[in-house]
Structure formats: C-alpha cells, structure tokens
Amino acid sequence: MAGQPIFILKEGSKRTRGRDAQSNNIMAAKAVAEAVRTTLGPKGMDKMLVDSMGDVVITNDGATILKEMDIEHPAAKMVVEVAKTQDEEVGDGTTSAAVVAGELLKKAEDLIEQEIHPTIIASGYRLAAEKAVEVLNSLAMTVEMSDRNLLISIAETAMTGKGAESSKKLLSKIAVDAVTSVVDTTDGKNSVERDNINVVKKVGGRVEDSELIRGMIIDKERIHPNMPQKIKDAKIILLNTAIELKDTEVDAEISITSPDQLQSFLDQEEQMLKRIVQKVIGSGANVVFCQKGIEDLAQHYLAKAGIFAVRRVKKSDMEKLARATGGNLITNLDEVTPEDLGYAGLVEEKKVGGDNMTFVTGCNNPKAVTILLRGGTEHVVDSVTSALEDALRVVAVAIEDEKLVAGGGSPEVEVALRLQEYAATLEGREQLAVKAYAEALEVIPRTLAENAGLDPIDMLMELRSQHEKGIKTAGLDVFEGKVVDMWKNFVVEPLRVKTQVINAATESAVMILRIDDIIASTRTAGPEDMGGMGGMPPGMGGMGGMPPGMM
C-alpha cells in the first residue's frame, strides 16, 4: 500500500499554483486591457466586432467591446466586470477602468518579481486608492443645475471620440435638455431616473434631424382609419383594461334554440360594448391609449365619436405617458374622474422612416421625454445611440453629485504626483506599492498621447512640470498636441467617473493578485463536443457518416 497516490481532484482537472497562477491571471487581464487601450480618448480608434451570427458592431465604447468579445479566461472576465460596473454606475470611463486595472496588475507583476508578497502589494494599493479618492475630492469643483453651458461641456466631453463626433453640439444640447426635464428634487437633493428618457431610433435622414420631444413618441398608429389624425388640446385617458367583452369567470353554457334568440344575444353584446365606449366618451377624453385590446366594433364607435385611439401600448410606455401627461393609469372605467385624464397640447400620427408613429407633445411640465434619433444607416444610428447614452448618464451624474473635475488626463497626473509624495511618508514595503500605483495612473495621459500620435514621454514630462508649478487642471489637448488648462477649454467630467475608475480597478486588481491557485475542472462533453449526429467523432456528422464532400 505504501506510496499509493491519492486522487483528490476529478480526473482531467487542471491545477496551476503559485507564481504560475499569478502570471497567467495577470497576462490574461493585461491582454483584455490592451485590447481596448487604443480606443481611449478623442483620437481613439474603433473596433469592429462580428458575432457568430454575422451581426456587426462598430464601437469604441470599452464596455460594449468587452461585452461583445467572447472571453473565456476567468481573470480576463473580472476586467470585463470592471468595465460593466463602470458602465452601469456612471456610463462613461469604461475604457479607462479596464486600462487602469490592467496597468495596476502589470506594475504588481514587477513588484512580485522583486520578491514582494502579493498581500503587501494589495495593502499598498488599497492605501493608494483611499488617498487617490481623497485627492480627487479636493480637486472637484461645484456645478449647478442652472449652469447649462457647463452641463453641455460635460456631455461634449463624454461624446468626444465616439461615433457622434460631428453632431456632438446638437446632441449635447438634446442630452442636457432631456435630463434637466426629468430631474426630481427631494429635500434639496437631485435625482434622475434614466428610464424617464425614452430613446427612439429610426434609420433615415441625417443625425442633425434628431430632436427632443417634450412628451412621448409611441411606436404605434391609430387603430381605425376614420379616426382623426391630429387632436389639439388632447384629454388623454390611459387604460389598463381592454375595451372588449370579458369572458365569464365560471364555465357556463348558453342554449339558443331559435334565430331570434341568437339575434337578441348579439344585440345584447353590442349594447354592452356600446356602454363601455360610452363610459370612455363620458369621461371627456378625446384620446385613448390602451395597454390591452380594443374590439373592432368598439373601434367603430370610438371613430364615430371622433376619438383618437391606440391599442396594445407597452406597459413601460404607459407609465412614461402617465408621467409626461400627468394622467393616471385606469383599471376600472366606472371610477374615472376628469382629474384622472392627462393633457397634451397635440396628439398626432406622423410617418417617420416609413413607419407611422404617435407623437404626444405640448405637455405641461412633462416628467418623461423622448429623444428621436436619426441616421443614414443602422450602424450610424447605433453608434450615435451609444454616444448619447453616455452623455445622458454623465449629465445625470453631474446633476446628482454637483461635482466636476477637469479631463484630458489632468486628474490622473495630479493624483500620481500626490501619491508619490504620500509614498515617501510610508514605512515598509507598502511604499513601493503606492509608488507603483502612482506610475500606473499615468497610463491614462500616456495612452491619450500615444493614440493621438504624440510622443508620450515628452507630453508626460510637460504635464508633470505644469502640475509641479501648481496648475492642477493642466491636461493634454490631443488636437493641438500641447498641454493646456482643461478647465478653460471646458473639458470636464463628473467626479464620480474618476472615483469609480479608481475603486473598481483597484478592487479588481487586488482580487486577481490574491489568487495563487487555480483549480479548473474538466468540462463534461455536451452535444457540441460530440461532433455531429448520434455522438459520432467530429467531422463524421454528415449523412451515414460519409466523408465531407461526398454528398
């Protein structure tokens, strides 16, 4: 029995330990960061992603790229999570978050080679992140919701380098007007519910034809051609219930023995429908939005009464209509009062991009708005939508937090310098980790310079010297190729974008660093591994196991 091996793991499991595990993880995370690095900044390049179905996505948004890439390595997936979290929290800075996480791991690898233990590096990184957030808070300036020009600058900064570059002035104004329309203020604190801004994409026309509708666009048409196409001073009823006859709750059978009885039964049904429609007309409404169905006969009665009706409206659109028009969602027609009706200056059916849509405009102080986006091709519209989403999110974050920092790599350089000073006050090996963290943050201005075709070392030296002189908002103007005051050039970003990058990248890097053992079990063979029909060897899946090309 002596010397008999003991199997703990399932046969075929792979185990990587110690330095090998760490270098594998770091290599995978660095590869992901490198994949999105060229997209950073106003002069960043785009990526074309083609999925297994042949669908094409063209983008330079870090989160979109990483989401579309089919990534297998578990450590690489953690960097994807960083970008995803950044996107959900603030909408912008996704590429920065992935790039910083990759650079932190790259610097950590150098320290590990100098025999510094990963837990010491992790501890130093955490100290550095706390200090970095503290420095960023000290750099932040205040923005008021009334300062429209500054909010437009935030939106423009978020859109720079994205597909909507040529129309960013128009789209930035649309984004700011949309967000400021849906702000809710409670106890002096602003909050923005992004879902109250509806974005409708329509291919056709130019990007400049995009517009903000202070109301709603419903992707439906009126249900009867005899209904009016346009209604001014619309009194809108929002129905959660169907305008049709309900089935009985109990199983019942009606026995009809003569044609007269059948006729009276049909007449009775007609009367019941007429009564339901009469309740709608009696409410004073001249526009009906119904979440459920409207029977053909009821459509006829509504059209005769000159009422504009739309059926099968999505639940989310009904809720937005309620916010936009000030109406209430109604489930029981017997309980309707004039106060339940919503108001809009105009409800009309228009043709947009070949489809009929219903426009509800001229609402009094609408708390839900719609942005109609146009573009020459589907890819253009998708690209503009992605850029606009980022702009909407950053403007919302700026209004909620009321804090801004300069862009163009200036906060990263300032934080890096302050961290170098902070590192000198520390004792022990954490000092080296804090220094490494400071150097890692400089990857942002360095990458901005590289992507713009500038010399990264010269630019970094110039940035450092300006910050040493006390110009804390000095950043890189990639169009001019020189260091300028970003605040004066209106290149600004919400503070939360930067603090989220620091926190998310640090936590992810620390988690990856602390892994020293990877145990990967074997995958059980699924149908796709069985190659063709009936578990035949791969390549044998044709008819009757013939070699390919024999059919």
Q: Tell me the C-alpha distance between 149 and 157, whole Å.
A: 12
Q: Which of 87, 92, 317, 390 is catalytic?
A: 390
Residue 33, SS3 per DSSP:
helix
Contact 398, 494 (CB under 8 A): yes
Report how far Cα 152 is from the mean position of its chain's Cα atoms.
19
Catalytic residue check, 390: yes
**Strand positions, DSSP E, 264-340:** 287-290, 308-310, 329-330
Q: Which of 39, 94, 370, 499 is catalytic?
A: 94
Per the listing, tokens 């890692």 go with: 440
Catalytic residue check, 94: yes
Helix 94-113 to helix 118-139 angle (10° resolution) is 140
Contact 510, 126 (CB under 8 A): yes
- Strand order across the beta sheet in which 197-203 lies: 197-203, 369-375, 211-213
Tell me the CA distances in angstroms from 489 to 150, 176, 392, 408, 475, one per residue in order. Answer: 11, 19, 21, 10, 10
User: Computed from CA positions of residues 327, 328, 330, 334, in that sequence, does the dihedral angle turn out positive or negative?
Assistant: negative
Q: Which of 95, 325, 370, 385 is catalytic?
A: 95
Q: Which of 61, 87, 317, 401 is catalytic?
A: 61
Among 346, 343, 347, 348, which Cα is nearest to 324's?
A: 343
Q: Which pair of tokens denotes residue 51? A: 């999925």
Catalytic residue check, 147: no
Q: Would you name the residues annotated as active-site residues?
A: 61, 94-95, 390
